[in-house]
C-alpha cells in the first residue's frame, strides 16, 4: 500500500494543479476579454484621430499636400529595408480613409479594396487569408468614412504571451513546491515514524506502555489506544499465568492421592481391600473432575473472556431444573431441598446461557458441603421491579462475619470439609458480569445465608 507521505503529497499536488489550472483558465479568459476591449478602444481612438486629421480646417491645396505627404511616408515604410521598418506588428495594423467611393489615404499594409462594407461599428472579417478586426467610423455630415483594422493573430499572440508568462512561474515552481511539500510532510509525519520504529524494536515480551514525548494530538489518541491494548494483553497474560499456577498447585495433591489409591489397588491381595481402594480412586477422580470443572469455569468468567450470548430467561424455571439435578446428591446425604417462590410473579430477566445453572450448582453445592445429614437447605426467590433475589439458607456452622470477605477469594477454604475454595468466587464473578452482587449473612435457623441479587437489565458486555 502507498505510504501516507506519498498519498498526501499526491493529493496536495493534484488539488494544487487543478486549482492552478482553474485559476489559469479564468485568468486567461479575463485577460483575453480585457485585451479585446483595449484593442477595440485603440481602434476607435485611432479612427477618431485620423478623422480629426483629415477634417483639419486647411485650405484645399494644403490639405492635398498633407495627404500626399502622409501617403508617401506610408509607402516608404512599406518599401524600405526591413531593418529600418518599425515594429513587426506594423504590417498587421491597417487603416483607410474613404470619401464616397474614393480612397483618400491608406496605410502600407491596407489593401486597395475597402476593409469592410460596414458603415459604422465593429466587424470581424477575412482579408487575404487572415482574420481582421475592423472598426468603421462615418462622419454624420460628410461622405467621409475611416476604417481601422487589426489582424486577429496580433491579439491572439498577445493573449498567449500573457497567459504563458502568468503560468510559467507556476509551472517552474511546481517541482520546487513538490520537493518542499515532500520535506514538510516527512517532517510532520516524523513522530509517527518514531512511534513505528519504537514498536518495531520493542521486545515481544515487553508489554509496558509506550512513552513518547512530545506527542501530536492525533498520535496521542493512537498511542493511548495501543497502551490500553497492551494493558489488556498484560492483564490477560497475568491471569493466564495465575490460572496455570493455580491449576498446577491445586491438581498436584489430588493427582498424588489418585496415584496412591491406584498403587494400593494394585498392591491389595484381598478383594475387599482392592475394592475399597478402587472406590477411593473413583471418589478422587470425581473430586479432581469437579476441581478441573471449577477451574475452567472460573477461567471462562474472566473479564477478557466474557460471554455475550445474553438471552431472555425464566429464573424460577431454571432454578427448578438446577435443583432437580442436585436432588440425587442431596438425597444421598440425607438433606432436604426446599424451594419457596411466588408462582404468579414475573421471573423474566436477561442472563447468559447457563448462568443460573452455574449459580445454583455452586451455591447449593456449597451449602450441601457444610450441612449436616437430616438438615434442610432452603432456596427462596423474591421478585422486585428492577431486581430478582435468590437466597440459599443452610443449617451448617456458618461463617463468622470477619471471615466473609475472605471466603469469596480463590482457593480460600472454610472448615475441614471444604472443597477447592472456588464455588463462591465463581458466584461473585458471575454476578459481577450481570451487574449483580453477593451478600453473606446469618441464616434465621443458624448456618449461612447467601443472597444473590440480579438486575433485570441486559447482561454487561
CATH code, 252: 1.10.287.130
Q: Determine the structural domain holding residue 153 and report its residue range.
A: 4-163
Strand 93-99 to 102-106 pairing: antiparallel
What is the C-alpha separation between 403 and 412, in angstroms, rounded? 10
List the single range of 74-78, 111-115, 324-328 with lowest mean pLDDT.
Answer: 74-78
Instruction: Report d(CA 204, CA 249) in Å as an integer.
Output: 28
The predicted model gives 47-72 an average pLDDT of 73
Q: What is the pLDDT of residue 412?
A: 44
Do 292 and 324 have their domain in common? no
Instruction: Among 47-56, 215-224, 300-309, 343-352, name the most confident range.
Output: 343-352
**Final residue before a domain boundary, out of 277, 300, 323:** 300
Q: Which of 31-45, 331-345, 354-368 has the highest mean pLDDT?
A: 331-345
User: Alpha-carbon distance 435 to 459, whole Å?
Assistant: 7
Given this model, what pLDDT does residue 19 score? 83
Q: Is 285 a domain residue?
A: yes
In this predicted structure, what is the pLDDT of residue 268? 82
> Does residue 80 surpass a pLDDT of 80?
no
For the question of whether the overall pTM of this predicted structure is more than 0.75, the answer is no
User: In the predicted model, what is the mean pLDDT of the chain?
Assistant: 77
> What pLDDT score does 420 carry?
42
Residue 141 lies in a domain: yes
Whether 418 has a pLDDT exceeding 60, the answer reads: no
What pLDDT is stored for residue 339 in this prediction? 92
74 lies in some domain:
yes
Which pLDDT does position 73 carry in this prediction?
A: 63
Say if residues 305 and 289 touch (Cβ distance below 8 Å). no
Q: Does residue 132 fall inside a structural domain?
A: yes
**Same-domain status, 359 and 424:** yes
Same-domain check for residues 269 and 396: no
Q: Say yes or no to pLDDT of 451 above 50.
A: yes
What pLDDT digit, counting tens, does each position of 228-255 carry? 888 888 877 777 777 676 666 556 656 7
- What pLDDT shows up at residue 379? 92
CA distances from 166 to 24, 307, 442 (A): 8, 68, 94
Within 8 A by CB and 6+ apart from 4, the residues are: 189, 192
Nearest-angstrom CA–CA distance, 441 and 437: 13
274 and 312 co-located in one domain: no
Query: By C-alpha distance, which of 43, 47, 109 is closest to 75?
Result: 109
Q: What percent of the chain has pLDDT above 90?
A: 4
The pLDDT of 51-75, averaged and rounded, is: 70
What pLDDT is attached to residue 338?
92
Please give the tally of structural domains in the chain. 3
Position 81 scores a pLDDT of 46
Q: Which tens digit of pLDDT belongs to each residue from 376-390?
A: 999 999 988 788 999
In this structure, the answer to whether residues 390 and 270 fall within a common structural domain is: no
- The answer to whether residue 78 sits within a structural domain is yes
Rounded to 5°, angle at Cα 334 from 389 and 380: 10
369 plus 450 within the same structural domain:
yes
144 vs 403, higher pLDDT: 144
pLDDT band, residue 424 (cuts 50/70/90): confident
Could you tell me if 100 and 143 are in contact, meaning their C-beta atoms sit under 8 angstroms apart? yes
Residues 298-339: tens digit of each pLDDT: 666 654 444 456 788 888 998 998 888 888 888 888 999 999
Q: Could you say which of 300, 324, 347 is where a domain stops?
A: 300
φ and ψ at residue 386, rounded to 5 degrees: -115, -5
Residue 200, in any domain of the structure = no
Contacts of 425 (CB under 8 A, 6+ apart): 298, 408, 409, 410
Same domain, 327 and 356: yes
Q: How confident is the model at residue 427 (pLDDT cuts 50, 70, 90)?
A: confident
Q: What is the pLDDT of residue 441?
A: 86
**Least reliable range by pLDDT among 85-99, 120-134, 175-189, 427-441:** 85-99
Q: Among 124, 146, 163, which residue terminates a domain?
A: 163
144 and 278, same structural domain? no
Q: Residue 371: pLDDT above 60?
A: yes
What confidence category does residue 276 fall into, taking pLDDT thresholds of 50, 70 and 90?
confident
> Pairing relation of β-strands 387-393 and 448-455?
antiparallel
Give the per-residue pLDDT at 89: 55
Q: pLDDT tens for residues 143-197? A: 888 888 888 877 777 777 776 777 777 777 778 888 888 888 888 777 777 777 7
Does residue 317 share a domain with residue 294?
Answer: no
**Is the domain of 359 the same as that of 378?**
yes
> Looking at the domain assignment, is residue 157 inside a domain?
yes
Are the beta carbons of 364 and 323 closer than 8 angstroms?
A: yes
Within a domain: residue 173?
no
Residue 76 confidence (pLDDT): 58
The CATH number for 431's domain is 3.30.565.10
Q: Angle of helix 190-200 relative to helix 217-267, nearest 10 degrees?
A: 10
Burial 350-367 (b: 16+ CB within 10 A, else e): ebbeebbebbbbbbbbbb
Mean pLDDT over residues 280-290, rounded? 75
**Pair (9, 42) in one structural domain:** yes
Cα distance between residue 455 and residue 385, in whole Å: 9
pLDDT reported for residue 417: 43
* 314 and 245 assigned to the same domain: no
What's the confidence (pLDDT) of residue 47? 85
Amino acid at each position: 500500500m502507498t505510504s501516507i507521505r506519498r498519498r498526501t503529497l499526491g493529493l496536495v499536488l493534484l488539488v494544487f494543479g487543478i486549482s492552478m489550472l482553474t485559476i489559469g483558465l479564468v485568468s486567461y479568459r479575463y485577460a483575453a476579454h480585457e485585451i479585446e476591449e483595449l484593442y477595440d478602444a485603440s481602434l476607435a481612438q485611432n479612427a477618431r484621430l485620423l478623422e480629426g486629421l483629415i477634417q483639419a480646417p486647411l485650405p484645399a491645396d494644403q490639405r492635398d499636400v498633407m495627404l500626399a505627404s502622409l501617403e508617401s511616408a506610408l509607402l516608404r515604410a512599406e518599401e524600405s529595408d526591413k531593418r529600418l521598418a518599425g515594429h513587426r506588428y506594423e504590417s498587421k495594423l491597417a487603416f483607410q480613409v474613404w470619401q464616397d467611393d474614393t480612397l483618400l489615404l491608406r496605410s502600407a499594409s491596407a489593401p486597395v479594396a475597402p476593409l469592410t462594407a460596414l458603415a459604422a461599428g465593429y466587424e470581424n472579417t477575412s482579408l487575404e487569408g487572415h482574420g481582421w478586426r475592423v472598426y468603421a467610423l462615418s462622419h454624420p455630415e460628410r461622405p467621409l468614412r475611416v476604417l481601422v483594422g487589426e489582424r486577429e493573430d496580433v491579439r491572439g499572440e498577445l493573449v498567449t504571451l500573457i497567459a504563458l508568462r502568468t503560468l510559467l512561474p507556476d509551472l517552474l515552481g511546481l517541482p520546487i513546491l513538490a520537493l518542499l511539500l515532500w520535506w514538510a510532510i516527512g517532517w510532520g509525519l516524523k513522530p509517527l515514524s518514531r512511534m513505528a520504529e519504537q514498536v518495531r524494536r520493542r521486545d515481544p515480551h515487553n508489554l509496558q506502555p509506550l512513552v513518547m514525548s512530545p506527542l501530536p494530538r492525533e498520535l496521542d489518541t493512537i498511542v493511548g489506544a495501543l497502551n490500553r491494548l497492551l494493558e489488556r494483553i498484560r492483564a490477560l497474560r497475568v491471569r493466564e499465568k495465575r490460572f496455570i499456577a493455580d491449576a498446577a498447585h491445586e491438581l498436584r495433591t489430588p493427582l498424588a492421592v489418585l496415584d496412591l489409591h491406584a498403587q494400593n489397588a494394585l498392591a491389595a491381595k484381598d478383594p475387599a481391600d482392592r475394592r475399597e481402594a478402587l472406590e477411593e480412586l473413583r471418589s478422587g477422580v470425581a473430586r479432581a473432575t469437579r476441581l478441573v470443572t471449577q477451574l475452567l469455569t472460573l477461567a471462562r468468567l474472566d473479564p477478557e473472556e466474557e460471554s455475550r450470548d445474553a438471552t431472555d430467561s425464566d429464573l424460577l424455571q431454571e432454578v427448578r431444573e438446577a435443583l432437580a439435578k442436585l436432588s440425587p446428591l442431596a438425597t444421598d446425604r440425607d438433606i432436604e431441598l426446599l424451594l419457596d417462590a411466588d408462582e404468579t410473579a414475573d421471573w423474566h430477566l436477561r442472563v447468559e446461557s447457563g448462568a443460573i445453572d452455574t449459580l445454583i450448582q455452586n451455591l447449593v453445592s456449597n451449602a450441601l458441603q457444610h450441612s449436616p445429614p437430616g438438615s434442610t437447605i432452603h432456596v427462596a426467590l423474591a421478585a422486585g421491579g428492577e431486581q430478582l433475589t435468590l437466597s440459599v439458607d443452610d443449617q451448617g456452622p456458618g461463617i463468622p462475619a470477619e471471615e466473609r470477605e475472605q471466603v469469596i477469594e480463590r482457593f480460600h477454604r472454610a472448615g475441614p470439609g471444604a472443597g477447592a475454595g472456588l464455588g463462591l468466587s465463581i458466584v461473585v464473578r458471575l454476578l459481577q458480569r450481570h451487574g449483580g452482587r453477593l451478600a453473606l449473612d446469618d441464616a434465621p435457623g443458624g448456618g449461612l445465608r447467601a443472597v444473590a441479587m440480579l438486575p433485570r437489565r441486559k447482561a454487561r458486555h
